[in-house]
Every structure is written in C-alpha cells, then in structure tokens.
Homo-oligomer: A and B are copies of this chain.
Amino acid sequence: MRIEVISTVDEVMIEHIKHKTVIVIDVLRASSTIATALAHGATKVIPVDTIGQANLFRQEGYLLAGERYGKKVIGFPFTNSPIEMTQAPLKGNALVLTTTNGTRAIQKSWKAASTLIGSFLNSNACAQLAMQLKRDLTILCAGSRQQFSFEDGLCAGYIVSLIEAQVPHLFVNDLGKTLSAAYRYVDEHLPAVLKTSAAGKRLVQSGQEDDVAYCAQKDIYSFVPTLVEDAIIIPADPF
C-alpha cells in the first residue's frame, strides 16, 4: 500500500486521484460539517462549487448551507458550522453545501475509485476503510487560501499514523511522514493546538471557538461519508 499526502487542493493532479482511494480533509470546517450533518439525520450532502449552483437546489426543497471566507452567505439558512448542524432540522432532508475550499477539494476528487470525507471526528473509520479497500491512498488536505493548513495536515498525520501501526511495508511520501510525526507530537493537546492555526485563529476571532473545539474531537463518529455520484452519503455497503 502507498500513501501520498497532498498539501493543498491546488497541487492535486489526476495521477493522485485515478484508481485511488482519496480522503478529502477540511477539518475547519467542511469535512466536520458534512460528518455532523449526516450523523444528525441528513439523507445526503451535495457539495457544490458556487453559491449560484446551491441556489438552484433551493426550489427543490433542499436545505442550503455554506460560507465564503468564513462568512455567512446571504439567504442561506445555515453556515458551514458543525455545531449548527447538531441543531438544524436535518432529519430526512438533503443538505447542499458550498464552502471556500472544502467543496472544491471534493470536486477535484470526483474521479477517484472512492472519495471519502475525513476529519478528526471520524479519522479512525477512514483509516480502517482505506485499509479494507486495499488500494493506494491519496490524502488530500484542502488547505485554506491556497496555503497548507496546520489542522488538515495534523488530521492527515493522524490517519497516516493509524495505518502505519497496522500495515507493514507501507510506502508513505515525505509529507505524510512529516505529518505523522507532527501529529504524534501534538496529539494530547489537539484542542489547544487547533486554535493556533490560521483558520483556527480566524474562527476564534469571529466568536466561533466552540466550532474549533468541536472539530478537535477524535473519532466520535464511526461512519465514513462517501461520495456516490454527486452526493455524499453514509453508504449501506462501503464497497
């Protein structure tokens, strides 16, 4: 098995995607929001690139959620907040989500053999499923504003460390090795560390510190949101 970690969505190339299992990570907050929405009863989450595309779904009764550079989108009932998802009327409803980076990273992974959505909330489930799928794995850190994000890298490092513990003769690229070491160093201080990242600081400054703390929880969900055609669902059979 080979693991390649890609530092930002801008660096991904077709060879990282094709015939691979891809885990897309946007800890703050798209990946965490998607997992939380599905855990709280949403039937599916449709990731779209633009606000215009999201609005097209409104007439069909979909719930709209999203943000642009951390700010609310006018006319959308929900932002890109996982805590908001725990209180939203999601049961039996589909959610349309558009965010600055996370949904773009998912779009870029469309051609993967499997596209999984990873966050600290479900890292162990992602790692176990990636091993069961027995393909080479690309972990795509969404990043923020074209830059590598500390929190996405640490989550990638956590997933790498879980697989390293179980798979002998594993190839991990240099970035993956680095992130595994970084994760192991900060492991016990994750909630505090996440607040020091660029995205974490912005959320703290805009009064959304609770979201950062929520996203720092490890493995509270044991399912893996998976892209099936154009929607992210909890598949009955992940194979």
The answer to whether A177 and B196 touch across the interface, beta carbons within 8 angstroms, is yes
Separation of A185 and B178 alpha carbons in the complex (Å) = 10
Q: Tell me how many residues of A have a C-beta within 8 Å of chain B.
A: 22
Chain B residues, Cβ within 8 Å of A51:
none
Q: How many copies does the complex hold?
A: 2
Interface residues of chain A, those whose CB is within 8 Å of chain B, are 7, 147-150, 153-154, 173-175, 177-179, 181-186, 196-198
A-B contact pairs, 13 of them (CB 8 A): A7-B7, A7-B175, A147-B174, A148-B174, A148-B178, A150-B178, A153-B174, A153-B175, A174-B198, A179-B182, A181-B181, A181-B185, A182-B185
With both chains docked as a complex, state the minimum distance between the C-beta of A150 and any C-beta of chain B, in angstroms.
Answer: 4
Chain B residues, Cβ within 8 Å of A177:
150, 196-197
With both chains docked as a complex, state the minimum distance between the C-beta of A13 and any C-beta of chain B, in angstroms.
Answer: 11
Chain B residues, Cβ within 8 Å of A154:
178
